Structure 1
């Protein structure tokens, strides 16, 4: 009798539990639908934004194929053309400093429009140039737009993407930079430098037109109090049949928590609750640039020439490998995770630097004449392939994820400014270092990339599969 009563009681418990389990299952299904609904608007919005990344690459790649023609047509000295090439970086620094507050004030779409406007003005100034002044003004303006794009594109994409796609879509930013640079080089071989400037306007035109058809960042709308627009934008991005209630509630709860905090000022970045985010972002930007990438990229042809390898074959191989491997890295980021990719990348950078250093060591000491060029091209290709798989894209992805929205504009500008400054420092010192010691230069870069591994292991969290609110709550 007792056994029968126990059985009946267990049955009743199971019957009572079933409705609760259905509620839990429905909630989980709803959360899954909210993040995996119809994604076409997310893809369209990402495409519109990363046209700015393509523009970034076009700006960087413009000076290489046009140097001889511009100097001949406008009678520029080598020093004058050097100013034209390098002033792009100074424009990018100004863009990095100012675009954060603009992004917070005008919204992510507004900042993209501002970036496009500067690039269009810059390209037109270059196209109509009759002398060095207008040429430099155009280059400075396009540099500003490029620096602005380098911040606002990954931030916008990170804020609109569902968590299971965020890493992959944000990494497309780096892929499009590589493609833009490669296309600029290819077009520069077959068209005049003025026509190439006009071609540079095309990505901006696509972005400006596309912005009319995509929603603003829901997180920015929530932060600025546009409640109705926030819900409409989130619904568009997740699909009309998706249940956005859970994601919307999480975003609003996080925004409400941040609103109770005082508005962040520059000195607030060094408060304990924000300090780890700042250290991670700035540290990754320093690791990305100080490991030698700009020196290697800007002087690839000369490196191959010094090592005794064909500059044209080496440069073409370099460009193709960079695009292909960046695409692979973008496609696997949400599966492999951010931290494993960047650790593999940094380890490959150390190996590539050592191989290149050995090549130059053999050449300097007149040893292994046949092996030296092979080691050089192998080392450089290992280096650029390793950079493209992780160190190129991952720091920008993590930077777009770790800052709370109340300091994202100012903190993102700081990180981007550091990136551009260190990029300039690396490119400026590269030739001096190579004059000092060709193999010593790459040993130095290997040591810096080894330190980057230590920094990533000890400081950088894994952000794969987490919402922005979860990431920022855990760090800050």
Structure 2
């Protein structure tokens, strides 16, 4: 990595308008969270034979097919973002999600259930691919960490809402209610300006100036920021083909590989499996509580801890939260796995306590920080394509682990499965310690240099970044 100075970004005052823009964008992740949390209705769906019968194998497909769809869609998400613009594509995704939820809720045919699930997955794929970079580009520098945490925060809230609905209502009522957020959240996006980065790439300089003025809430400094955007490599690299060519350069490829590794190891650590199969896990572990209640507890703790993470992320920093969270998560998974494997006394309660601690720690770092780093570390010349690659590889791992979960548990047992998850989660901390620089307080333009040379200079960058942060906060 380079020893060049990483300068702090210009701090504009945060206004109510900016908060509205950030919340309007981040809240769209509720649809992604409800997509994942909807799987809590599957036990009820299996016991309800009024329309059709659902087997365990079909449950595995309904859980994992979302990842399979996202794998395919993420390959075209980057080009579509460049063609349509991130805000318009986000709006279209919400409309698709609403229509797909309603199709699932009212279909009398099982195959239409799969079609609706696929439609929700397509919408989620576009939201996953474009939301984080868009928030980073449009948020004020001093609250970039908080703004980047909004998707995880609202995604956790969406999952919790789905868990609660699934525990109280029939599956088709829960599915219908999942369509409401997509409809409601479409309206605020009508007032959100388009990304100035994308507008510059489309040679719409005047529109980019207008967008920056609305985003920053003032004219002072807008011309200087616009000049920086016009002189940046991203201003002339709008072609997807050119982005793939630039991706071959080490300074662009290395951050994409690092961020991809964090997401992939996180999924191999069982993050999605634990949440989406929560009811089945608690049933299999023999926990002496209603499994739906246990699942709601998981969702509630995750929401609280993600909110805490969002509030401290710009103060504590990305690396400490990510490394500490990964170590705690991995250790807890390992302990719970050992108790179940050895069938020690009290083992039925250990998975509940262990998973509650795991989800809490996960919400503090492992769940939030990788999304922040995706927006901050992916270089602007390859940001759209890089984000698509991250989502593609991440969801490939997600599909594999979700689809084979029942088979792995049948072969290894729940105890050894949790131990394996723990090892992968610990590797997240190892990757973060070795290759991830501290990014809080640094401007996006200067983060472009963070991976320009060998990783041995990472400590120099971290130290200089911390020095600039202290100066910026003092001013």
**TM-score bracket relative to the smaller structure:** 0.7 to 0.9
Distance 1:462 1:325 in 2: 21
1:76-115 matches, cutoff 5 A = 76-78=53-55, 79-115=57-93
- Among 320, 339, 342, the residue aligned to 2:322: 342
Distance 1:77 1:289 in 2: 26
Deviations 1:300-352 (A, max 9, x none): 33333444423435323222211111111111111111111110111111221
Paired residues of 2:45 and 2:171 also in contact (CA < 8 A): yes
| Alpha-carbon shift at residue 258 of structure 1 (Å) | 5.3
Q: Which residue of 1 aligns with 2:437?
A: 461
1:204-353 matches, cutoff 5 A = 204-240=182-218, 242-255=220-233, 259=237, 263-266=241-244, 268-312=246-290, 313-353=293-333
Distance 2:106 2:185 in 1: 23
Distance 2:217 2:84 in 1: 25
Distance 2:229 2:330 in 1: 40
- What SS class does the counterpart of residue 289 from structure 1 fall into? helix
Deviations 1:151-175 (A, max 9, x none): 2111211110011111111111111
Q: Which runs of 5+ in 2 are unaligned?
A: 1-6, 453-475
Q: Which residue of 1 aligns with 2:18?
A: 42
Please report the TM-score for the alignment, with normalisation by the length of structure 2.
0.86
1:353-368 matches, cutoff 5 A = 353-363=333-343, 367=344
Paired residues of 1:37 and 1:242 also in contact (CA < 8 A): no
- What SS class does the counterpart of residue 287 from structure 2 fall into? coil
Q: Which residue of 1 aligns with 2:171?
A: 193
Deviations 1:185-215 (A, max 9, x none): 2123444433433322322223321122111
Deviations 1:29-77 (A, max 9, x none): xx98x63324222211222212320011111122322553474231223
- What SS class does the counterpart of residue 475 from structure 1 fall into? coil
Distance 2:149 2:240 in 1: 32
Distance 1:74 1:63 in 2: 18
Distance 2:212 2:298 in 1: 40
RMSD: 2.5
Paired residues of 1:51 and 1:206 also in contact (CA < 8 A): no
Please report the TM-score for the alignment, with normalisation by the length of structure 1.
0.86
Paired residues of 1:51 and 1:204 also in contact (CA < 8 A): no
Instruction: State whether structure 2 residue 396 is matched by structure 1 residue 416.
Output: no
Q: Which residue of 2 aligns with 1:25?
A: none
Paired residues of 1:103 and 1:409 also in contact (CA < 8 A): yes
Work out which of the two has the higher radius of gyration on C-alpha atoms and give 1 or 2: 1
| Alpha-carbon shift at residue 178 of structure 1 (Å) | 0.9
Question: Which is worse superposed, 154-163 or 252-261?
Answer: 252-261
Deviations 1:341-366 (A, max 9, x none): 11011111122112202211331xxx
| Alpha-carbon shift at residue 257 of structure 1 (Å) | 7.0
| Alpha-carbon shift at residue 261 of structure 1 (Å) | 10
The 3 A distance-change label for structure 1 pair 120 and 248 is: same
Q: Which runs of 5+ in 1 are unaligned?
A: 1-27
